[in-house]
Amino acid sequence: MALKKDGFITRFKNIILDEGEKPDIYRRTTSNQIKLKIFLTSFSILFFELICIRWIPAYVRFLSYFMNFVMLAAFLGIGLGIMASRREKLRLPAFSIWLFFLIIVILAARFELLLPSTQVLYYAAGESIAPPENSIVLPVILFLVVIAFTILARPLGKLLTAIPPLQAYTWDIVGSLAGIAAFFFMSYLSLSPFYWFMILCILVICITPKRRWLSAAPFLIGSLVIVFGLARGSLWSPYYRIQIQDVDDGHYVYVNNVGHQFATHFLNKETFYFRVYDLLGQKPFKKVLVLGAGVGPDVAIALNYGAETVDAVEIDPIIHQLGIELNPDQPYADPRVNMYIDDGRSFLRNVSGRYDLIIFALPDSLTLTSSYSSLRLESFLLTTDAFESAAGLLSEDGMLVLYNYYREEWLVRKLAGMVNHVMGSPPFVTTYGAYGRAAVIMGGPRLAELDASLLAPYSEDIGDIPAGTGWPLPVIGQGTMGEDPTQALASDNWPFIYMPTPAIPSLYLGALSVLLILALSLTAIVVPKETLRRFNWHFFFLGVAFMLLETRSLVTFGLLFGNTWMVNSLVFFAILSSVLLAILYNARIRLTRVWPLYTLLIALLLVNYFLPLKELLGISNPLLRYGLASLLAFAPIFIANVVFSHSFRDSKLADIAFASNLLGSVLGGILEYAALAFGYQALLLFVIVFYAVAYFTNRKEQPLVVEIKP
């Protein structure tokens, strides 16, 4: 029996494929309804972006170090989606179906991902042979994310052209602010992904035509069921998915599928925890600072060895809470302990007083601090500038101690060289075998009290050395270790402790190549040729420049106020708020010749370049220090937003301009990796160049006329 044209097959195709809204829909829609649609669509896009950045790396462990690739894929998808709105006959799957498919793929991709690279260290890098399927994971997930955002952002294209550009842009930013605020609130409450996806599903229903609600419901419900099942048995801090495994002598704490900490009686900890006490603990360290206190073993050991006061700093509130609940020694219940939930570098900058012992206690975060940079949570804690701050807090016979499973010999030499550089004398280093290369690095005035026979240059020809207190690891070398000229010292400008020298590793170059190929291929497929001919290079270069400026500003604020999730969220909120201020400025003041704005912007960027943040951090008055640094970092952001909204106000093709800007942001995010080779200060030079190019690619330039509206 033949089916009618509008029969079952046609209805099924309409369910599976999202053909976009018809061009005349906005003729029947009021201005307020359009604004509400822009708000809800932008809210959905930003909220989904934050979900992808947090949720996907929690299950595909490798992506914890490549969250910025997920963000770039999102930007690419949004830009393509807006441009694809001009191709009426382009058929894409419904978002609810693609979301369900994405979740299924993540469910299937939860295998151990290994990469044969030690140009930049991360957990398990270079430790095993990588199976062939590993190279497929990143391209597949990036493709899925790009298409998901293409589908979700497609309606935004027509919405941006339905009302004046500045009005549309305003409601886009307000929706993005709502997305950040909602996710901030959910992170603050440590809610599980089930609640994230539930909010997303509600938003998707709100922006989906009523006729498609019934068809979307099964896929959205299915997505929630899978997400709920995956999240069972997990805790969600603002940084990690955390799981607990109970064993006979304690509790293992896993983050993003990685064994991270072990809550057990302190004598069960590895021998390197005790090395400084075994060698130099005859006279107690009375005042101790532990950076990276975690579940509390370092704190318990310090208390056992006679500490009168222990300041414990931990960035993750959930891990600290687990220390309270699971550590059998109960160190956090001791009245001698002062607990601080803070970024370690921020604490070093703001604390006063002197310490007899400062411990950098295995600070390996296993994740990036944000999706806009290649920084990890501990990046600013392991620089020569941080070690200088710590050294300035030591008492007359104090000690600075670092220990961890460093895995690579060059990393031990790099850290030892940094301590040597700060202290002016080589530290005493002990290295251990059995489970990768663990090491203890000790430097400071009390090192002069060490047995003189031990203060020989580092050697691994040492005979049989007793492991000492704690769970034994074989000692494979010890002695003093100076600077290694082959290792670049990490600094606040180049805070890449896990790289031997400045460079862009081939691992990243390969991944960036995949992203570029994906961008070019999908652009050719989904964007109409007529739209490509109208591509706006002025807005493209504005996007490149602003992404680099935003990245550098986020790095600056992270150094100033701490690399915490709260600081990053508030900075994003402040940046988007500055966009609203810039829109208000351009709505009231019509400056038709924009070269004064570009001149002011480039001047501010040059001031930031020639007045490094280190100079400002040396100002003794904290209010003046933070005020000046924030002003210098934030002023270019505001002027850049004024420049953009000024151009966008008069755009005749707002959707193409906006999409061009987003695609430029993708290139800006790719160029961010130049900081691995040149440092973050050099990004300002890229910003200046791209803003200059953006100015000269703006075809519109009229005589100076300033009109202030009442």
Please, which residues bridge with residue 471 across strands?
270
pTM for the model: 0.87
Residue with tokens 């060895």: 305
Residue with tokens 């430029």: 664
- Inform me whether the pLDDT recorded for 523 exceeds 80: yes
Instruction: Report pLDDT for 467.
Output: 82
Q: How far apart are CA 477 and CA 275, in angstroms?
A: 13
Tell me the per-residue pLDDT of 263-272, one tens digit each, with 9 for 90 and over: 999 999 999 9
Strand 258-264: give its sheet, edge to edge: 235-236, 241-247, 250-255, 258-264
Contact 192, 234 (CB under 8 A): yes
Q: Is 592 helix (H, G, I), strand (E, B) or coil?
A: coil
Segment 480-489 shows an average pLDDT of: 92
For residue 75, the number of C-alpha atoms closer than 13 Å in the C-beta half-sphere is: 26
CB burial of residue 159 (10 Å; 0-12, 13-18, 19+): buried
Sequence letter at residue 633? A
Tell me the per-residue pLDDT of 533-585, one tens digit each, with 9 for 90 and over: 899 999 999 999 999 999 888 888 888 777 777 878 888 888 888 899 999 88
Segment 192-213 shows an average pLDDT of: 94
Instruction: Report pLDDT for 101.
Output: 94
Q: Is 17 helix (H, G, I), strand (E, B) or coil?
A: strand
- Inform me whether the pLDDT recorded for 13 exceeds 70: no
Segment 79-90 shows an average pLDDT of: 90
Q: Could you tell me the pLDDT band of residue 399, with boundaries at 50, 70 and 90? A: very high
Q: Is 682 helix (H, G, I), strand (E, B) or coil?
A: coil
Contact 472, 647 (CB under 8 A): no
Instruction: Report pLDDT for 26.
Output: 44
Q: Is 618 helix (H, G, I), strand (E, B) or coil?
A: coil
Please, which residues bridge with residue 221 across strands?
none
Instruction: Report pLDDT for 611.
Output: 80
Residue 419, both tokens: 């301590």
* Stretch (H or E) spanning 396: strand 394-405
- Inform me whether the pLDDT recorded for 22 exceeds 70: no
Q: How far apart are CA 216 and CA 94, in angstroms?
A: 8
- Inform me whether the pLDDT recorded for 123 exceeds 80: no
Arithmetic mean of pLDDT over the chain = 86
- Inform me whether the pLDDT recorded for 14 exceeds 50: no
Contact 59, 499 (CB under 8 A): no
**What percent of the chain has pLDDT above 70?**
87
Spatial neighbors of 409 by CB under 8 A, at least 6 apart, are: 431, 437
Q: Could you tell me the pLDDT band of residue 332, with boundaries at 50, 70 and 90? A: very high
Tell me the per-residue pLDDT of 137-180, one tens digit each, with 9 for 90 and over: 778 888 999 999 999 999 999 999 999 999 999 999 999 999 99
Residue 253, both tokens: 């704490």
Instruction: Report pLDDT for 644.
Output: 94
Q: How far apart are CA 152 and CA 9, in angstroms?
A: 24
- Inform me whether the pLDDT recorded for 7 exceeds 60: no
- DSSP letters along 405-474, please? E--SHHHHHHHHHHHHHHHSSPPEEEEE-SSS-EEEEEESGGGGGS-GGG-SBPBS--------SSB---
Segment 630-657 shows an average pLDDT of: 90
If one compares 134 and 190, the residue with the highest pLDDT of the two is: 190
Question: Picking from 85-94, 293-302, 370-379, which range would have the lowest pLDDT averaged per residue?
Answer: 370-379
Q: How far apart are CA 534 and CA 522, in angstroms?
A: 17
- Inform me whether the pLDDT recorded for 705 exceeds 50: no
Tell me the per-residue pLDDT of 583-641, one tens digit each, with 9 for 90 and over: 988 888 877 788 899 999 999 999 989 887 666 666 666 677 677 777 888 899 999 99
Q: How far apart are CA 130 and CA 187, in angstroms?
A: 34
Q: What are phi and psi of 224, to 5 degrees?
A: -65, -40
- Alpha-helical segments (H) within 109-266: 134-162, 165-188, 193-207, 213-231
Contact 224, 201 (CB under 8 A): yes
Instruction: Report pLDDT for 418.
Output: 96
Contact 662, 64 (CB under 8 A): no
Contact 619, 349 (CB under 8 A): no
* Stretch (H or E) spanning 318: helix 317-326
Closest C-alpha to 639, from 671, 614, 605: 605
- Inform me whether the pLDDT recorded for 707 exceeds 90: no
Q: Could you tell me the pLDDT band of residue 459, with boundaries at 50, 70 and 90? A: very high
Residue 461, both tokens: 């020809």
Q: What are phi and psi of 373, to 5 degrees?
A: -145, 175
Sequence letter at residue 135? S
Q: Of 104-113, 331-340, 406-415, which one has max mean pLDDT?
A: 331-340
Instruction: Report pLDDT for 370.
Output: 52
